[in-house]
Amino acid sequence: MQTDKNVLNNKYKQFPRTNDNNTCYLKNCITDQSIKVGDYTIYHDFENPLGFEKKNVLYHYPINNETLTIGKFCSIAHGAKFIFNAANHTLKSISTYPFPLFKNDWDLDVKVTDAWDNKGDIIVGNDVWIGFEALILAGVHIGDGAIIASRTIVNKDIPPYTIVGGAPGKEIRKRFSEKEIEFLIQLQWWNWDDEKIKQNLALILNSDFEALRRLA
């Protein structure tokens, strides 16, 4: 296990905070290869964060070959859930009843996946904050730096550095100006090495765009 003093906080741990077993580095708490999580992304759960892939990633069945991708330095609050395609019932047929689920029992000439509409993978960018009990639906892409308010239902793509809330989620405001957002997307500070982030953390924490521009 790495013990390099230059790392921000040992990224190989499950629980990065002393005496806190409710907050985990999510990457180190999952086993499902179709869930991909970046370094330093944290998940907090009042009960047990190690159950994330069972309790929070729902209707995520191998038959669909879907992936959940979450970037680096994200913060995910208790109860946030990612709802995949098998939660849907198809809208393409006259009936929404999931007849194809009974393919084998009723000897039907259909595919099981015909029971639902497939909207694709879920992709969450870097430095995204997902609030308490938010719901992220299948096919949604969330941009870098976005904030999802508590109990928001996200049913469409969210642009970078945008705050959304409500059911369904609607844009509340941009976090920064368009010029600043464009700069941050190009900067991609989350891809810096650990030591560079640590050395320049004060600039990040204080939104010092002028100093960051000089650094870039």
In a domain, 8, yes or no: no
- CATH code for position 77: 2.160.10.10
The Cα 85–Cα 115 span in angstroms is 10
d(CA 211, CA 75): 25
Residue-wise pLDDT tens for the chain (216 aa)? 344 555 677 899 999 999 999 999 999 999 999 999 999 999 999 999 999 999 999 999 999 999 999 999 999 999 999 999 999 999 999 999 999 999 999 999 999 999 999 999 999 999 999 999 999 999 999 999 999 999 999 999 999 999 999 999 999 999 999 999 999 999 999 999 999 999 999 999 998 999 999 987
At 166, which amino acid appears? G
Q: How many whole angstroms separate alpha carbon 115 and alpha carbon 102?
A: 10
Number of domains within the chain: 2
Both 161 and 199 in a single domain? no
Could you tell me the residue range of the domain that residue 181 belongs to?
177-216
Q: Does some domain include residue 18? A: no
Assess whether 137 and 188 both reside in one domain.
no
Half-sphere exposure of 33 (CA within 13 A, CB side): 2
- Do 136 and 213 lie in a common domain? no
**Active-site residue set:** 89
Q: How far apart are CA 157 and CA 40, in angstroms?
A: 23
Two tokens, residue 216: 């870039």
